[in-house]
Amino acid sequence: MATVRLRRNGPLILEGDDVRVVDWDGVEQRPTRVPVALCRCGASASKPFCDGSHRRIGFAPDPLEASKPLAR
């Protein structure tokens, strides 16, 4: 089973035994680290993976985004 953790002002963290990242063309993107950190700020030079750029740019999610309930 995979778990997705949201880091406050940071990336999405994917944890699990069999995490695969596939881009819009169907090409598997190989993560270099486990757990896998996916960029949420849009500033990473290694998209879709996080490179820590969120710290440099002072990324903070939209306050409305954080208050929305999760869809079931």
Measured CA to CA, the distance from residue 14 to residue 24 in angstroms comes to 18
pLDDT of 71 reads: 62
pLDDT in tens, 15-39: 988 888 999 999 999 888 889 999 9
What pLDDT band is residue 11 in, cutting at 50, 70 and 90? Answer: very high
Q: Show the domains of the chain with their CATH numbers.
A: 3-67 (3.40.5.90)
